[in-house]
């Protein structure tokens, strides 16, 4: 105790960041940001989608609570991350899905994808998307059945604008395909008067939520912008060079939802700025590839999941050089 003046200060190691934000604040903001599209989806698709949303979120939270209670771990349901996972999963469901399917998916997302790897911050794959792919593989027919009696699309094939566009492109030569995105106007696609999953249809509601997240600095524009721009460029170059075709890809499927809410998950995306841009471009290229040359119309989920697997490599590639360190000879 030669120097009592110094020992009384307990200084932590740098960086000395002072910020009051916490996981639960961020998750709450994400939930708020998804509120407009949730409300729109429920308003448009009716009672079943409300049941799906409520029960999926409840199942996700309950699964996390029970697992942690059973494994004698501290409970993390208060940080709302399980609720966010449940809500994203619910918004990825077709409106008329039997509710036990998303509930099963929520259990899979929380227990297998998240908790088995160590809980929040440890999962290497977006839990909600992993669960969606799990359900898509297991219940392919019902997961791609977008008929909605309430919307009056049961008489039509109930195909999403993107699927309609793909069918048209496959049926006729691609030169005439993009002329109309299966009869859905751009305005309807933008507002959301089209078939699709509960949360992906209304682009305007999604953009309102995204603007809130950007305003609160929960997400940055790097990943979504790199992602969306890549898809626009790719679909324009390799499509039929028409604006309608590009707009169909931009607004017809889950691109906006995926880019702002699913590709920006903190745990499974790079933290370096240049890495985020590379990640966005990678996912964008994969999405366009899957959509244009793959078997199914939609490719956002698989693209983001593959991006999740790539992110440690991208991060390793883009480690910033500390100030003052010399470049490698």
Partner 1 sequence: MEKYTERLYNGIVKENPTFRLMLGMCPTLAVTTSLINGFGMGASTLAVLAFSNLLISALRNVIPDRVRIPAFIVIVASLVTVVDLLMKGFVPSLYAALGIYIPLIVVNCIILGRAESYASKNTPGLSFMDGLGMGMGFTIALSCIGAVRELLGAGSVLGHQIIPDDYHISIFVLAPGAFFVLSLLTALQNKLKFPSATNVKKDDESTGCGCGCAGCSVGCTDTADSK
Interface residue list for partner 1 (CB under 8 A): 104, 112, 116, 134, 137-140
CA 13 → CA 10, 16, 140, 168, distances in Å?
10, 7, 51, 60
* Least gap, CB of 134 to partner 1 (angstroms): 6
For Cα atoms 88, 222, 129, give the angle at the middle one, nearest 5 degrees: 25
The conformation of residue 325, written as its DSSP 8-state character, comes to: P
Q: What is the CA radius of gyration of the chain?
A: 21
* Least gap, CB of 195 to partner 1 (angstroms): 22
CA 115 → CA 59, 160, 261, distances in Å?
14, 34, 21
The 10 Å Cβ neighbour count of residue 97 is 25
* Least gap, CB of 126 to partner 1 (angstroms): 16
Token readout for 71 is 């494994």
* Least gap, CB of 100 to partner 1 (angstroms): 8
* Least gap, CB of 172 to partner 1 (angstroms): 33
Whole-number Å distance between alpha carbons of 179 and 122 = 45
The 10 Å Cβ neighbour count of residue 35 is 15
Looking at the Cβ atoms of 117 and 190, the one nearer to partner 1 is 117
Looking at the Cβ atoms of 112 and 285, the one nearer to partner 1 is 112
Looking at the Cβ atoms of 188 and 296, the one nearer to partner 1 is 296
Looking at the Cβ atoms of 116 and 266, the one nearer to partner 1 is 116
Looking at the Cβ atoms of 48 and 230, the one nearer to partner 1 is 48
């Amino acid at each position: 105790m030669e120097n009592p003046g110094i020992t009384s200060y307990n200084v932590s190691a740098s960086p000395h960041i002072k910020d009051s934000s916490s996981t639960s604040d961020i998750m709450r903001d994400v939930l708020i940001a998804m509120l407009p599209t949730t409300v729109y989806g429920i308003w448009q698709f009716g009672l079943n989608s409300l049941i799906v949303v409520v029960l999926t979120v409840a199942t996700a939270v309950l699964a996390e609570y029970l697992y942690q209670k059973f494994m004698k771990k501290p409970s993390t349901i208060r940080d709302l991350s399980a609720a966010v996972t449940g809500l994203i999963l619910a918004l990825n469901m077709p409106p008329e899905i039997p509710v036990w399917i998303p509930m099963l998916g929520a259990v899979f997302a929380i227990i297998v994808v998240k908790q088995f790897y160590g809980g929040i911050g440890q999962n290497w794959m977006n839990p909600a998307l992993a669960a969606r792919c799990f359900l898509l593989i297991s219940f392919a027919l019902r997961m791609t059945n977008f008929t909605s009696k309430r919307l009056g699309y049961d008489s039509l094939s109930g195909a999403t604008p993107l699927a309609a566009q793909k069918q048209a492109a496959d049926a006729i030569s691609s030169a005439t395909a993009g002329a109309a995105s299966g009869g859905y106007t751009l305005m309807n696609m933008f507002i959301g008067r089209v078939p699709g999953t509960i949360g992906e249809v209304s682009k305007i509601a999604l953009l309102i939520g995204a603007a809130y997240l950007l305003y609160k600095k929960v997400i940055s524009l790097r990943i979504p912008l790199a992602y969306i721009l890549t898809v626009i460029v790719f679909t324009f170059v390799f499509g039929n060079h028409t604006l309608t075709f590009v707009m169909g890809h931009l607004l017809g499927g889950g691109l906006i939802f995926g880019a702002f809410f699913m590709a920006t998950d903190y745990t499974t995306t790079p933290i370096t700025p240049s890495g985020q841009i590379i990640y966005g471009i990678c996912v964008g290229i994969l999405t366009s590839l899957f959509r244009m040359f793959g078997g199914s119309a939609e490719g956002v989920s698989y693209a983001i999941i593959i991006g999740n697997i790539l992110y440690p490599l991208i991060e390793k590639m883009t480690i910033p050089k500390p100030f003052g360190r010399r470049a490698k000879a």
